[in-house]
Amino acid sequence: MLKGNKRWIYIALPIFFFWFFGQIDKLGISIIQTDQGFLNDLGITGADKNAKIGMITFVFTISYALSNIFWGFIIDKLGARKTGILGLIAWAITMVIGGLSTSYEMFIVSRIILGIGEGMMIPICGKFISNWFHQRELGRAQSSWLAGNYLGPACGAIILTLVIATFHWQAAFFILAAFNVLIVLPMFIFLTRDTPEEHPRLDKEELAYIRQSDSKGSTKKQNFVQDFRYWIVWFGMLVASFLFFGISIWLPTYLVGAKGFTREAMTGITSLSWLFALGFVLICGYLSDKTKRPGLLATILFLLTTLFLTAAILSPQPVMAGVCMGLAMGAQGGVFHLSNLFIVKFSTPETAGRAAGLMGFTNILGGFSSYIMGWMVDISGGDFGPSIVMLIIAASLGFIAYLFTLKKEASELKLENVPPNRVTV
């Protein structure tokens, strides 16, 4: 059954759990910050409480984004496997420090270190997928780890809510550290290798299938920095980061504070929102391979995000508003998937780490959105309306940017469909 498909076990499975638990580490703070004990213990109180909460994600995403730049070069030199092993050990230590924090400042430092460590995630996965998967299955390969990207927080919302209710907020950090050390780290050590050629348990037939894409793709790929569409995708990721972090970090607080949801109802809507994102990822993975029109799909997703956010701000029903916010977040999950697909499409195995690292830098705007939204909520007296309008404007900019990719994408697809015995001038 696994004959010819071991790459899905050796690579897709470890990077699925890499993101499953990594995203809980990263975005579980959106659940933890709704706990009054956490806020009181770290002194997150007063008129600027929401700005302080936003600062937690701001410092994380700034360090996360900036570290992406140098991680790409390190991974291209050191390899994805060794870099991942070192990073997982660092994550575990950082989570323990977070759980032991006794002040707001100490916790902020722990989030900065975590951001630096997790900045390697996108470049590592881009490198693994570029080396290990055939060109025709890039969409499905990206979906394998992006599924963990969204399924992790969906499950994490429930896990963290139960842990906090049963024990204390510190226990959430200690449990997350244990998950990384006991589950993900052994997978990287025993299953992964940097290239298929290095793996002792991969048969020659599967290796030959993987490498078929090299001879077809290497001659037509220019340097990724020379392709204008890479920079449109880069801008699109700036916008997507602004939207995704703005919605995901503040959604639980929005549901509890602005819409009056109970903790249990908030957990349900939050988990559902992450499942929406997972659904968009799986659908985009299939459609991008099937239609070969990822640019068109991204354009549609930005349009849907604009519509969902508009519906959320206009809806008088709290449940409907919460669901629309979740659908908007889910649509941006689809954009994130397609952007990572573009990284592999526009780069080569040798430059994939750098291309992904530069793309990962776009997460810097996610930090600004979390802080700006907190600040806007404070000055608006707890009203989320103005900050949601800001997100609608951002989604519209993403839609406009991707319109410029459609003409070239359509012409490339038309050339691919030309029979080989026909001459095209």
Q: How confident is the model at residue 220 (pLDDT cuts 50, 70, 90)?
A: very low
> Does residue 162 register a pLDDT over 80?
yes
Q: What angle do CA 161, 336, 68 make, to 5 degrees?
A: 90
Least confident range from 213-217, 289-293, 306-310: namely 213-217
Q: What is the pLDDT of residue 360?
A: 67
Q: How confident is the model at residue 349 (pLDDT cuts 50, 70, 90)?
A: low
Q: What is the pLDDT of residue 311?
A: 95
- CA–CA distance, 218 with 204 (Å, rounded to integer): 21
Q: How confident is the model at residue 219 (pLDDT cuts 50, 70, 90)?
A: very low
Neighbours of 261 (CB within 10 A): 20
Q: What is the mean pLDDT of residues 247-272?
A: 88
* Full-model pTM: 0.74
Residues above pLDDT 90, as percent of the chain: 38
Q: How confident is the model at residue 215 (pLDDT cuts 50, 70, 90)?
A: very low
The amino acid occupying position 72 is: G
Q: What angle do CA 242, 247, 251 make, to 5 degrees?
A: 155
- CA–CA distance, 372 with 167 (Å, rounded to integer): 32
Enclosing H/E stretch for 173? helix 169-179
Q: What is the pLDDT of residue 2?
A: 62
- CA–CA distance, 124 with 186 (Å, rounded to integer): 17
Which of these, 133, 120, 73, 68, lies nearest to 341 by C-alpha position?
133
Query: 381: alpha, beta or left, given left = phi > 0 and alpha = psi -120 to 50?
Result: left
> Does residue 255 register a pLDDT over 80?
yes
Burial degree of 418 (CB within 10 A; 0-12, 13-18, 19+)? exposed
Q: How confident is the model at residue 163 (pLDDT cuts 50, 70, 90)?
A: very high
Inter-residue contact 373 to 250 (CB < 8 Å)? yes
Q: What is the pLDDT of residue 11?
A: 94
Instruction: Tell me the two tokens of residue 149.
Output: 């990207």
Average pLDDT, the chain: 86
> Does residue 282 register a pLDDT over 60?
yes
Inter-residue contact 280 to 337 (CB < 8 Å)? yes
> Does residue 104 register a pLDDT over 90?
yes
